[in-house]
Amino acid sequence: MKPLIIRDTNEKIYPTKIICLARTYRKHAEEMGSELPTEPILFLKPPSAVIYSSDYIVFPEISKEIHYEGELAVIIGKNGKNIPKDEAFSHILGYSAFLDITARDLQSYAKSKGYPWSISKGFDTFAPISEVTKKEEIEDPHNLNIKLWVNDKIKQNSNTKYMIFTIDQIIEYVSEIMTLERGDIIATGTPEGVGKIKKGDRIILEIDKVGRLENCVT
Ligand code: MG
């Protein structure tokens, strides 16, 4: 398992889990034909899926359709359980750019059967993540441009201000369920514009001041 690397330091931290949110941007819920949730929708990715910028995303043999989803990730710095909203930011170490790679055909099948999403979200290499930028360098995590290109064509262009839950709300909610531990990753969901990628494609994700990812599919 690959550790997260804190930018401008040699410090490495190991996530015990990757918590992902679904449908946190109205327009993405619309493009998926999904209802907007009233509470966060969570799923987990295994930390074994983590890769770095410039590593390859491997197209799984059992899927015919994989998608990119560009997301802001929150990295936990201090363990906590039942963290109240007003203490949430003290538990954050920093932020990263994150790709929630998804085998959309396997996810659609799982949705149709009422099965979990673990297969469609959990393949090795399905969690590219940038180095961690410390929170002190990010003035307002709720106002960051998030842009994604596939082969130099812009596909996603949004801002974290359009998230329907705030980061402190998300931390409060998640930590009621599971202890958040240092190094854990919370992927806050993707804006509209998701789509297919194929072998040979190059994906670039940039989030203002937070980080940049560049990954090719093989
Ligand atoms: Mg996602």
What is the rounded distance in angstroms from the CA atom of residue 117 to the CA atom of residue 110?
6
Distance 23 CA to ligand 1 centre (A): 8
- Measure the CA angle with vertex 28, ends 134 and 86; round to 5°: 40
Q: Tell me, what's the pLDDT at 10?
A: 86
Residues 77-99 have pLDDT tens digits of 999 999 999 999 999 999 999 99
CA of 190 to the centre of ligand 1 (A): 5
For the cut 90, the answer to whether the pLDDT of residue 13 exceeds it is yes
What whole-number distance in Å separates Cα of residue 196 and Cα of residue 106?
Answer: 13
HSE on the CB side for 139, CA within 13 Å?
5
- Rounded distance from Cα 100 to ligand 1 centre (Å): 5
Q: Which residues surround ligand 1, an ion (CB under 5 A)?
A: 69, 100, 190
pLDDT digits (tens, 9 = 90+) for 98-127: 999 999 999 999 999 999 999 999 999 999
Of the candidate CATH numbers 3.40.640.10, 3.40.50.720, 3.90.850.10, 3.40.1360.10, the domain formed by 4-217 belongs to 3.90.850.10
| Closest by Cα among 76, 75, 120 to 100 | 120
The CA 79 to ligand 1 mean position distance, Å, reads 24
CA of 21 to the centre of ligand 1 (A): 6
Q: pLDDT for 120-173, tens place per residue?
A: 999 999 999 999 999 999 999 999 999 999 999 999 999 999 999 999 999 999
